Amino acid sequence: MKSSLAYRVIAGILFVSAGIGMLAVRHLAARPAASGVLGLSKVFAFTYTPGKDFDPRQLKSVTLFGPVNAADWKYWQGRGVVAGVGHGWFDLLRTPLDKAVENLTGADFSGNPHPVVMIDEFGFDYGGNLDRKSAQVLRQAKLKKPDLALTVFQMREPLPQVLGEAYRDVADLVMFESYVHSQHNYWWIATQVWSARRYGLLPKSIFILGLGKGGNPGEDWADSPEELEEQVRFVRLIAPESPGVGFFGGTPELLASADALCAHYFDLPTDGSGLPPEVRDLADTFSRHYEKPTLIASPSLVGPDYNENGSGALAEPKTMRAYLINLGGADAQNVKVRLRNVPIRGGNVFAEGEAPLIPSRGEAIAVLKVTDKWREWVGQWVVEVDAPGCDVRIFKP
């Protein structure tokens, strides 16, 4: 969330798994599974809550809190709240694999018989070197310490296959960073929901909404109780299988509003009532059945393949990885993708490549060879998609 590599804007598209209509999904999953997550029947997470102007002990609806100091688990356990110890990605991805696993499993949990770690954060390069290493760290850590509950902050992107499968197999909870400011960006959240549903993760995934402002320029998130409620209602609409919702940061006013919303979260409608027509239309648009290949792309869903040492350097030869979704009922083949600098930065094509196959109702990564200099960072360039016989929609950040 706070790392130099945490660069992506959020993107989202809603999709219903094959053969299951959205109305049926909403009806069957109105409340979380009885088995629970982390021993909880519902998950209301308050994460990185600022303590200077707000005492988190006054929260009433919280069931997951963190990161905390290792010894704090006793206080929170006494309230029926799961507390997680924080662990950054730095010493997991900047070290050899065996050392990374030791760093994660050997952390101080202050005698907690049911330790929980919050990993901040994974999801760097759409199935590239760092994502593959992240998946290995998770799998080997669970093998080495099965009783350690692994909860992961997933950065602002849908899931590539290597992470989706690792989260499905060994993560105890996935927390998608869904930090948006207004309904113009709700489609970003919905892509995360689409990918979580694709890998069967929604029953153990929550979507973390950003409250107020982040620490970097342009990080403006829900800034009023009204906007926050709309975002919560949107999450309830598109992800009824989720066991709850979460929040990052916040002001006292917004944290109080979030706390109150959690108190009746599972009473909120899953049919979109109470949301503006354009928001309901967004959900309906992306839940429809499409006969022909229907592709989703965005400048925000493209990023470089990083070197596996976690230094931030790019792998050689330099490539970009473009995440593509096919909502349609037929495969898309030989889809060409180009990245271009914006006109005021030269307008030149600097990377291009192809996705040979994007399966029906599936995803693919187009690997783009870098052929020239790029003069903007992720999300600020232009993406072009050539896909004969397909409908293509490109969302701009």
Determine the Cα–Cα distance for residues 365 and 127; give it in Å rounded to an integer: 8
Read off the pLDDT band of 11 (50, 70, 90): very low
Amino acid at 158: P
Apex CA 396: angle with CA 379 and CA 388, to 5°?
A: 105
| Angle in degrees, 0-180, between the axes of helices 161-170 and 129-144, rounded to the nearest 10 | 10
257 vs 18, which has greater pLDDT? 257
For the cut 80, the answer to whether the pLDDT of residue 319 exceeds it is yes
Position 219 scores a pLDDT of: 85
Most confident of 54-63, 183-192, 304-313: 54-63
187 vs 3, which has greater pLDDT? 187
The answer to whether the beta carbons of residues 288 and 309 sit under 8 Å apart is: no
Determine the Cα–Cα distance for residues 189 and 193; give it in Å rounded to an integer: 7
**123 HSE (CA, 13 A, CB side):** 31
Q: Please list, in sequence order, all residues whose beta carbon lies within 8 angstroms of the beta carbon of residue 311, skipping any fewer than 6 positions away.
A: 94
Determine the Cα–Cα distance for residues 183 and 339; give it in Å rounded to an integer: 27
The per-residue pLDDT for range 135-181, each reduced to its tens digit, is 999 999 999 999 999 999 999 789 999 999 999 999 999 999 999 99
- Name the average pLDDT for the chain: 90
For the cut 60, the answer to whether the pLDDT of residue 29 exceeds it is no
Apex CA 396: angle with CA 287 and CA 124, to 5°?
A: 85
Position 397 scores a pLDDT of: 78
Position 376 scores a pLDDT of: 83
Long-range contacts of 31-37 (CB under 8 A, 24+ apart): 31/266, 32/203, 32/241, 32/242, 32/243, 32/244, 32/266, 33/203, 33/243, 36/243, 37/172, 37/173, 37/203, 37/204, 37/243
Q: What percent of the chain has pLDDT over 90?
A: 82
For the cut 60, the answer to whether the pLDDT of residue 289 exceeds it is yes
DSSP string spanning 262-306? HHTGGGS-SS-TTS-HHHHHHHHHTTS-BSS-EEEE-GGGEEEPB
The per-residue pLDDT for range 209-226, each reduced to its tens digit, is 999 988 787 789 999 999
The answer to whether the beta carbons of residues 130 and 308 sit under 8 Å apart is: yes
DSSP string spanning 57-79? GG-SS-SEEEEE-GGGHHHHHHT
Determine the Cα–Cα distance for residues 28 and 87; give it in Å rounded to an integer: 35
Position 7 scores a pLDDT of: 35
Cβ count within 10 A of residue 243: 26
Q: Which range among 10-19, 120-129, 186-195, 359-368 shows the weakest confidence by mean pLDDT?
A: 10-19
Read off the pLDDT band of 35 (50, 70, 90): low
Average pLDDT for 381-395: 95
DSSP string spanning 143-188? HH-TTSEEEEEE-SSPPPHHHHHHHHHH-SEEEEEE--SSGGGHHH
Q: What percent of the chain has pLDDT over 70?
A: 91
The candidate with the shortest Cα–Cα distance to 175, out of 126, 209, 144, is 209
Q: Which range among 31-45, 249-263, 271-285 shows the weakest confidence by mean pLDDT?
A: 31-45
pTM: 0.90
The candidate with the shortest Cα–Cα distance to 164, out of 191, 185, 143, 188, is 191
Position 203 scores a pLDDT of: 97
Strand partners, 303: 321
DSSP string spanning 114-131? S-EEEEEEE--STTSHHH
**75 HSE (CA, 13 A, CB side):** 11
Average pLDDT for 67-79: 97
Q: Which range among 16-30, 37-51, 224-238 shows the weakest confidence by mean pLDDT?
A: 16-30
Domains in the chain, please, with CATH? 22-285 (3.20.20.80), 294-394 (2.60.40)
Q: Report in angstroms the alpha-carbon separations of 319 from 125, 304, 322, 351.
A: 11, 6, 10, 8
The per-residue pLDDT for range 323-341, each reduced to its tens digit, is 999 999 999 999 999 999 9
The answer to whether the beta carbons of residues 328 and 290 sit under 8 Å apart is: yes
**64 HSE (CA, 13 A, CB side):** 33
Average pLDDT for 50-54: 84
